[in-house]
Amino acid sequence: MFYMKNIFDRIRNYDYSIYLYWIVMLFGALFRIRQYAVNRSFWVDEASLALNIVDRNFAMLMKPLDYNQGAPVGFLFIEKFLVTIFGNFDYVLRIFPLIAGLVSLYFIYRLANELLGRLGLLVVFWFSFSGSMIYYSSELKQYSSDVMFATALTWCGVFYLKKIDLQLRDVLILGVLGIIAIFSSHPAAFVLPVVGVLLAFEKFRAKKYSQLRLLLGMGAVWGGTFFASYLFTLRNLIGNDFLQRYWGDSYAPLPPWQHLDWYRNVFYSLLPELGTSFWDIFSQQFHQTNLLNFCLLLATVGSLSLLLRDKKMVILIISPFVLMFVASVLDRYPMYDRFIYFWVPSLFLLVAEGLAVLYRLFSKINRQSANLIYIFLFLLLAWTPTTNAFTNMVNPQMGEDIKPVLTYIRENKQADDVIYVHNGGVNSFRYYAPFYELDTEYSFVADKSSNFKRFLIDVDDLIGNERVWFVFSHVTYCDCDAVTSAGRVDHHIQILDGFGNQLDRFEASRSYAYLYDLNP
């Protein structure tokens, strides 16, 4: 009987939240794999980066990239290695972002479980179901790996700060990870100094000078690595006049109290999709802004709570954002959604800590009421990300899907057909054209069509051709009031109707092909 009672006590006291964590992470992995498996077309930025990776050797990837692209040299080397081994395919180029997205799930779980226990489930849930995190896990950009390196380094900080003594092996592991991160992720420059300084301060305070010397040596190596990275790549990226102008509105304005809306929108951009559909079950008077401001309140409460509970942890979580803010004020780093996604897990941790504070306060009054309130708030915050994630599972994002358009042209073009590619889709066409045998003398890419007047000049030059395919993708301008890509394409078509007769058309996701007879 005593043996049976012991078993039942173990079952009753067992923490089953670990299974909830892993179930949520499994869904997160499935969402990311599903989006990757769709193998949507490269949009213009992805295609531009892909052309650099495919057309250059390893040494040339250390020079300023073409098409105003920028990426960490380590990321570029990994992508070039994958292409060299497995071939030039879009799904090969997206393997590393996918792996980074899956690995990030694990480090998010470790951080949430370590800092918040079972109440950290919201962190893993939000991250797993976040539409932006799912999407960037299948995009040929460094943003997914930025998150991976940031969470890995933050986890190392948590782990090593709790360790009484650091061995040489520990310092070597952290040192090598830091070197790889510096070359492979620009935001690592905001996370690494915080981790290194906190560890060094702890050893100095504990008078463990031998370990302190190891950490200072590691910091010196990191500093040298960052200087080399700056010398070879970052300097040219920061000095790119086009990018400086393009991201001009994304640099943090001063003083903050005179630009509160700007900073509030930055905060909103980091949150997962939040809607009021769950709240609408009870009332129609609740607005999305209320929900976003509620999360802002939770993050503030969570920051104060963590400051009282564990000062080292709050410094570890918030300081990278402060360093990024300083860099942004100096016009060195844009505070724009995908560039600051590396800090998303930290923000989620603060919001979840704030929710945990509410739970603990209500628990002092009534434990059952606290459980019900927590579950209600959890559902309120998780409802829209959940519905959106499952909707995306059924109908994944296809973006500017130019591949079906090129397939249609290949199957329907005649020998002397001319293909005109509008400026926005030029690099996507350049990347995919060889796969569809469309890179011929009859293909005309509109490199100089950066304004609508140039498009009119190009069309006038094509007058006299009986069959011209016009390919549109990523159409961002026209002399019209249209606010969508489809509307801007329609305006181009109205102009073309004045020059000739439309013979055929094909439409895919945000990509289009129109066949015109321009022989008057």
Exposure of 236 in the CB half-sphere (CA atoms within 13 A): 17
Helix axes 168-184, 209-229, angle to 10 degrees: 20
Q: Tell the burial category of 476 from Cβ atoms under 10 Å away from its Cβ (0-12, 13-18, 19+).
A: exposed
Please tell me which residue, 282 or 76, carries the higher pLDDT value. 76
Q: Which of 185, 176, 172, 190 is nearest to 74 (CA)?
A: 185
pLDDT of amino acid 193: 95
Is a pLDDT exceeding 60 seen at residue 13? no
How far, in whole angstroms, is CA 142 from its chain's centroid? Answer: 8
What's the pLDDT band for 454 if we cut at 50, 70, 90?
confident
pLDDT of amino acid 14: 45
What's the pLDDT band for 333 if we cut at 50, 70, 90?
very high
Report yes or no: 47 and 63 within 8 Å, Cβ to Cβ. Answer: no
**What does the alpha-carbon distance between residue 130 and residue 1 come to, in Å, rounded to a whole number?**
49
Report yes or no: 362 and 167 within 8 Å, Cβ to Cβ. Answer: no
Q: Which of 217-226, 252-261, 287-296, 300-309 has the lowest mean pLDDT?
A: 287-296
What are the DSSP calls for 16-46, one per residue?
Answer: THHHHHHHHHHHHHHHHHHHHHT-PPP-HHH
Instruction: Supply 242's token pair.
Output: 């086009």
Average pLDDT over residues 192-204: 93
pLDDT of amino acid 11: 39
Sign of CA dihedral 150, 153, 159, 164: negative
**What does the alpha-carbon distance between residue 31 and residue 37 come to, in Å, rounded to a whole number?**
10
**What does the alpha-carbon distance between residue 356 and residue 379 come to, in Å, rounded to a whole number?**
14
3-class DSSP string for 312-332: HHHHHHHHHHHHHHHHHHCCC
pLDDT of amino acid 231: 84
Please tell me which residue, 502 or 164, carries the higher pLDDT value. 502
**What does the alpha-carbon distance between residue 325 and residue 21 come to, in Å, rounded to a whole number?**
32
**What does the alpha-carbon distance between residue 30 and residue 446 come to, in Å, rounded to a whole number?**
39
**What does the alpha-carbon distance between residue 145 and residue 511 come to, in Å, rounded to a whole number?**
28
pLDDT of amino acid 519: 87
Three-state DSSP state, 203: helix
Average pLDDT over residues 402-407: 96
Q: Which of 114-118, 157-161, 162-166, 393-397 has the lowest mean pLDDT?
A: 162-166
Most confident of 52-56, 205-209, 269-273, 337-341: 52-56
Percent of the chain beyond pLDDT 90? 62
Report yes or no: 204 and 155 within 8 Å, Cβ to Cβ. Answer: no
Q: Give the model confidence (pLDDT) of 216-252 as tens digits.
A: 999 999 999 999 888 888 888 887 888 888 888 889 9
Please tell me which residue, 158 or 441, carries the higher pLDDT value. 158
Is a pLDDT exceeding 60 seen at residue 418? yes
**What does the alpha-carbon distance between residue 354 and residue 294 come to, in Å, rounded to a whole number?**
10
Instruction: Return the biggest CA–CA distance within the chain.
Output: 98
Q: How big is the CA angle at 409 (ends 408 and 412), to the nearest 5 degrees? A: 85
Q: Which of 45-49, 107-111, 279-283, 343-347 has the lowest mean pLDDT?
A: 279-283
Identify the H or E element spanning 445: strand 443-445
**What does the alpha-carbon distance between residue 21 and residue 99 come to, in Å, rounded to a whole number?**
19
Lay out the sheet containing 511-517: strands in order across.
Answer: 443-445, 418-421, 468-473, 511-517, 501-508
Q: Tell the burial category of 432 from Cβ atoms under 10 Å away from its Cβ (0-12, 13-18, 19+).
A: buried
Is a pLDDT exceeding 70 seen at residue 342? yes
pLDDT of amino acid 10: 47
Please tell me which residue, 283 or 435, carries the higher pLDDT value. 435
Q: Give the model confidence (pLDDT) of 343-355 as tens digits.
A: 999 999 999 999 9
Put residue 255 in one of left, alpha, beta given phi > 0 → left and psi -120 to 50 → alpha. Answer: beta
pLDDT of amino acid 300: 94
Instruction: Supply 172's token pair.
Output: 């070597």
pTM, full prediction: 0.91
Please tell me which residue, 51 or 119, carries the higher pLDDT value. 51
What's the pLDDT band for 76 if we cut at 50, 70, 90?
very high
pLDDT of amino acid 8: 38
What's the pLDDT band for 423 if we cut at 50, 70, 90?
confident
The overall average pLDDT reported for the chain is 89
